[in-house]
Structure formats: structure tokens, C-alpha cells
Amino acid sequence: MGSHPAVKNAVTSHRQRRLRAGVFVAILTLVLAACGTGGAQDGLSPASERASNIDGLFRLTLIIAIVVFVLVQAAIIYTSFKFRRKKGEEPRPVKQIHGNTKLEIAWTIAPAIILAGLAVPTVQTIFENAEEPVDALEITVTGHQWWWEYEYTDLGVVTANEMHIPVGQDIALTLTADAGDVIHSFWVPRLSGKRDLVPGHENTLTISADEVGLFLGQCAEFCGLSHANMRLRVYAHEPADFDAWVESQLAPATVVEDSEGWELFVNKGCTACHAIDGTEAEGGGLNPGPNLTHFAQRDTFAGALYDSTEENLSAWLANPSELKSMRPDLNRGMPNLGLSDDEIATLVAFLQGLS
């Protein structure tokens, strides 16, 4: 199972604690580690400081909960067997005990003490994770039905669904949604807990990645028809690689303005929704779609749902709602433009040329 490095790290760090805490905790921790899938969206394989804070707190709570669970269930099972009337036995009179005040006080206070103990690290972690990040990369995330828009406010990069970040640096996310949109929730389990994107509000969330890699996430607040298809990816790079990515994003769009593809892109009305920076295509409007300036650099499209292959893109342009449920009639999602096969081929080539 846990071939993922983060899982191994978690297991190792727990091993040290385990020696101190004894055999019981050892077994328990193994069980918990076994629960992680090591998948790219697995909340039990944290890959950032804040996600590790959460994970540690959860595991502590879980260990206490499992101890209480075992004690209570053992009491239920023991009582059930010990005081069970055997088959065929006549009912036996038993003492009519109405209660015991000392016991009541004991089992009122005991859970209260445990909870008070749990409250301390809980409150600590709440405030720790809410701390303002320092030297953070700032990204504004806007949730749309049903895709993600990322604006790197200091760098001037705008992209969609696939977020690129440098490892080891705090990323300060500002989370919001357009006034006409609905609530979404940004969740990349390995990097942080989730936080909602609410129309008219600006929420903040700090994420980071301790290691290079691809981290998956998706919208966690039900946002209508294609909620299940609103996925996202975070690519964490070494700082140098990240800088290179930024540079490639800032490069002018590779568009030949009198090519057949460009003509089609303009004439079919794509520019009404999709922007290509540095051209007359400014996007926006009633139904803003993802910025396509460097579309060909992205691995996926349609809310990170499909790989950007020629085949998938052709099928998408032929009938977008076939691949992903949308409501273009209500300005939510991409309409079917009624393109011919030749037009589709030309446009796919055009899109794949947007490197």
C-alpha cells in the first residue's frame, strides 16, 4: 500500500512515539497507517506543515476515541454475556437498583477531563493554522460552475484548474466566487483542510507542499449539476522549475492572428468567453470560461476532468455537455457550437498550438 514517501514519513515519525507509548498504540498506529491509500487525494497522507498539524491532531483524537470505543464496547459485550438469561431459564428476580450518584459524577467528570485535554491542542492548532503566512506567494482562486480560475496576483499569471506552486513556500490563497455563482469549496487533502469560496466573501487559506509532485483535489461544497466534475490539480515544483513555469506563462501567446484556427476561434464566438492574453480575445462576458493563453501547457481540461488529448478535445468541441453535464443555456458551461469535423480538427490544432 503505502509506497508514497509521505506515508513512509508518517509511519516513521509515529514509530518513534510508539516506543514511548507502548504496544497498544503501536498496533493502533499501524491500523491508521494502513487506512491511508497513499493516493494523490488521500487526506491521511499529509504533505504540508498545516496538513500535518491537522493529521497529528486527528490521530491523537482518534487514538483517544478508539480507547473509549474499546472500553464502552467491551463493557456492553461483557454485560450482555455476564447477565444474559440462558435459554429456557425462568426469569430470575434481580435487585431493583435505581442508580448511583458517585458513579454518575465519575462518568460526568471523566469525559469532561478528556475533552478539556483535547481542547488544548485543538485551540492551538486552530490559531497556528490561521497564522498569517510570511513571504507567501499570493493566488486568488475564483470558483466557477464548474471550474477553477487562478490568478497569481503578484506575477500576473492567470490559469485554470491546474495550479503550479513552488515547494517549501507558503501559498496564500484568497478564495472567492462571482456574485452570480454559487458556493464552492477548495480542497486538496494532502496540502490542507478545505475552505469555501462564497459569492461576496473573500476567504483565506494557506497551503504549501513539502515535496515535489502532483496533488489532486476537487470541489467539496455541492455546487449544482457538475459538482462531481469540478476537480483540480496542484503541481509542486522545485523553486527553479516553478520560476521557469512562470516565465513560460508570461511569454506572449503563440497565436498567428491571420491563421485559419484563429479566424475560426474568433468567428465562432470563442472569444466571448475565453481570453487569450495579448490578443483581441479578452474573454469574460456573461459566461466567463478558462483563460486559454497557454492552454497547451495544461495536462487536462474541463475542470481537470479529461486529459488534453486530441481525441478528447475533438469530442469536447463536438458536444461539450456530452463529456461533462453543463447548462450553457443558463450561462453555465460551454455551449455546443455546432462545429463541423473539419472545424473541430482546425480548432483542436489551434488549441494544441497555444503553448
Task: Give the number of residues in contact with another protein, rule: CB under 8 A.
Answer: 92
Please report whether residue 6 would count as binding another protein according to CB under 8 A: no
To another protein, the closest distance from the beta carbon of 80 in angstroms equals 6
Name residues contacting another protein, limited to 53-92 (CB under 8 A).
53-54, 57-58, 61-62, 65, 68-69, 72-73, 75-76, 79-80, 83-85, 91-92
SS3 37: coil
Q: Which one of 140, 169, 203, 279 is in contact with another protein (CB under 8 A)?
A: 203
CB of 4 or CB of 274, closer to another protein? 4
> Rounded to an integer, what distance in angstroms lies between the CA atom of residue 164 and that of residue 135?
17
| Position among 20, 23, 102, 127 found at the interface with another protein (CB under 8 A) | 127
Binding mask 257-296 for another protein (x = CB under 8 A): ----------------------------------------
Q: Are 148 and 230 a contacting pair, CB within 8 Å?
A: yes
Whether 156 contacts 190, CB under 8 Å: no
- Alpha carbons within 13 angstroms on the beta-carbon side of residue 349 total 13
The CB-of-299 to another protein minimum distance in angstroms stands at 14
Which of 220/345 has CB closer to another protein? Answer: 220
Q: Which of 11, 225, 315, 339 binds another protein (CB under 8 A)?
A: 225
Q: What are phi and psi of 137, to 5 degrees?
A: -80, 130
- Of the listed pieces 152-160, 218-226, 256-264, 295-303, which binds another protein according to CB under 8 A? 218-226
Tell the smallest beta-carbon distance from residue 59 to another protein (Å). Answer: 9
The answer to whether 192 and 207 are in contact (CB under 8 A) is: yes
Residue 52 binds another protein (CB under 8 A): no
Beta carbon of residue 298, minimum distance to another protein (angstroms, whole number): 17
3-state secondary structure 158-217: EEECEEEEECCCCEEEEEEECCCCCCEEECCCCCCCCEEECECCCEEEEECCCCCEEEEE
Helix (H) or strand (E) holding 151: strand 147-152
Indicate the SS3 state at residue 133.
coil
Binding of residue 125 to another protein (CB under 8 A): yes
Q: What is the Cα–Cα distance from 216 to 9, expressed in whole angstroms?
A: 20
CB of 54 to another protein, least distance (A): 5
Residues of this chain, 150-189, that bind another protein according to CB under 8 A = 175, 179-183, 185, 187, 189
Q: Is 214 in the site for another protein (CB under 8 A)?
A: no
Contact 243, 164 (CB under 8 A): no
What's the DSSP call for residue 293? T
The residue (of 84 and 258) whose beta carbon lies closer to another protein is: 84
> For another protein, which stretch binds (CB under 8 A), given 151-159, 215-223, 252-260, 263-271?
215-223
Interacting residues of 332 by C-beta distance below 8 A, sequence separation 6+: 145, 146, 224, 225, 287, 326
Report in angstroms how near the CB of residue 259 gets to another protein at its nearest: 35
